Amino acid sequence: MASRCSVLRDRETRPSGVVVPIPGLIRPGLRYNVASGMLLGAQASGQYAGRKKQFNLGVWYAPGWQARYIPAQKLQYQAEFKHQTRGGGTYYYQSLLYNEVNTHEMGWFDHVGKTQYGLYGKSMQRYHRLIYSVDHPLYNPWINSNTNGRDPYFPQGDLMDGFLPTANQWSYISQVHLNLFLQQAYSGWGKTGSVRFDMRMPSPWSQSQYGFVQLEWKHFQPLGKSALRLRTLIYYGGGNNPTPESALYLSNANPEDAFQQQSLYRDFGMYNLNNSSKEWNTLQVNGGLNLRGFNGYTAPKTVKQANGNDTILAFFRGNQGLGINTSFDLTPYFRWVPKIKMIGINPYLFGDAGIIGQPLTSQNAQNQTFTQNVYSGLLCDAGFGASMNIKNWSSLAKNKALRAANPLNIRVDFPIWVNAVQGNDDFLQFRMRVSVGTDF
C-alpha cells in the first residue's frame, strides 16, 4: 500500500493535540516494546496560534540492562509539527527513530471542496549491527534463488538476529523519494466513497530506484437495514533494487506503512500471538491487497522459467496487484445484544479476491537473461469477523490527552474458506487474523 501523508492517517493509538499553550501537555512515563523491552521517556503535545500550529514531541531511552542496541541507538524519538496557513494549505514535518528505523517526512497538502491533494518527500533507512550487502537475497525480494540456505521468499522461516517488527522483511537500503496524491470524495442518496491516486518517484540520492502508481476506490452502499462496504485497489510498481518493506503485500499493509501508521504495531508487531498455530500468526495492519484469508500464507505457485523449466515462487508480496474487498455489516441484526459503554462491536461478513504479480529473472537455453512478470492466479477468501472500537477513554482516566485520543480499532477476522491451500490445510477450516486499523 502506498505510503500516505501521515498527517491524514489514523491516530488510533496516539493521543491527538489538545488546546493548551506552549509547552503543551507533558506526559512522562514508561512504554514497552518487544524490541528493546521497557523504555523510559516523556511526550509533549499541543497546539497554539488558534489551532493553526500543532506539535507532538516524544523521547524514550532504552535502559542498558534490557536494550539490545549500541549506545547511540538507545535514545529514540518522535517529532511532528503541522502548520495550517490561511488559504495556502498545510505544511508539515515529522521525524521518527524507533526500533532501528529512522524516517523523515516533509510535505504539503490542501483541499478544494471534496478534492484533496498534496505532495511530500520521505527518506527512510534501517540501522542494525548486522549489515548485509544491498544484493543479499535475504533483503532483496526479487532475487529468485537460495543462498546459504536462506530463502528470500520464505523469510518467516529464517531465524535472523533482528528485533524490528518483520525484521527479516526490512532491508538496510537507504530510500529517498517524492510522493504525490490526489483524492476525490463523493456522497449522495446515502452513498459515500472516495477515489484516491498515489504515485511514488525515487530520487537520484536513493539506493532503491523503485516507484509505483496506485488507484484505490472505497464505496459505502446502504442495503436495507444494513450496508455494504467495497474497496478496490490497483497497484503497479517497477524499478531497480526494490525493498521488501515498500513492496505490495497480499494480506496486509507493507512493513513501511504498518510501521509509520500504527504505534501499536511498532511496539508489538513482531509478537507471535501463538507460536504453535499458523492461524494466529502475528499482529497485522490492514492494507495492501488485504486478502485476509492468506495471512501468514506464502501462496506458492509453479511458474515457467525462460528455459522452460518449472520453479516454485511464493506470492505473499509482489510489485503488481489487483484486489477487491467486500464487507456486509451485520450490526443491525444484533440490536438485541446488550451494549458495552466503552467498546463498540460491529460484526460483519466479508469476502476478498485478488491477484498479485512479481518479476522473475531467469536464463534461457542460450544462457541469455530474461525478466518476465509472473502472477499468482486468482486468490479468494470468505468468512466472518468483527471490528471492536475501544472508545470513551475518559471513563478510565481524567487525563486530557486520553480524552482526546481517537478510538482504537481492532479487527478479528475468521477466514473460514480460501480457494488455494498448501501443505495439509483444507479449503474449509478455522483460521484467525488479528489486525489494527481500518481499511475501508
Domain limits, the chain: 6-436
In DSSP notation, 135-164 reads: T-TTT-TT--S-BTTB-TT-GGGS--S--S
Residues facing 237 on adjacent strands: 212
Across-strand partners of 112?
Answer: 115
Identify which of 300, 361, 317 has the alpha carbon closest to the alpha carbon of residue 135.
Answer: 361
Chunked mean pLDDT (size 10), the chain, 440 residues:
38 32 53 65 78 81 55 75 89 88 94 95 76 49 42 37 46 89 92 96 90 96 92 94 87 88 73 43 83 84 85 85 96 78 85 93 83 90 90 51 60 92 82 82
Write down the pLDDT at residue 125: 87
Q: CA 268: distance to chain centroid?
A: 14
Measure the CA–CA gap between 375 and 359, rounded to whole angstroms. Answer: 9
State the pTM of this model.
0.82
Res 306: pLDDT: 84
DSSP-derived secondary structure letter, 274: -
Nearest-angstrom CA–CA distance, 264 and 310: 41
CA 144 to chain centre: 25
Q: Which three cell numbers stand for residue 183?
A: 483524492
What is the structure's pLDDT at 63?
A: 67
Grid cell locating 52: 493553526
Contacts of 250 (CB under 8 A, 6+ apart): 288, 289, 291, 294, 297, 299, 315, 316, 317, 318, 321, 354, 356, 376, 379
At residue 27, the pLDDT reads 60
Dist CA 114 CA 196 (whole Å): 12
Q: How big is the chain by its Cα radius of gyration, in Å?
A: 22
Half-sphere exposure in the Cβ direction for 378 (13 Å, CA): 5
6-436: which CATH topology?
Porin (2.40.160)
Quick one: cell of 281?
Answer: 500468526
Scanning the structure block, which residue is given the C-alpha cell 511496539?
Answer: 267
Residue 156 burial (CB < 10 Å; 0-12/13-18/19+)?
middle
With left for phi above 0 and alpha for psi between -120 and 50, is residue 83 left, alpha or beta?
beta
**What is the phi/psi pair of residue 188, to 5°?**
160, 140
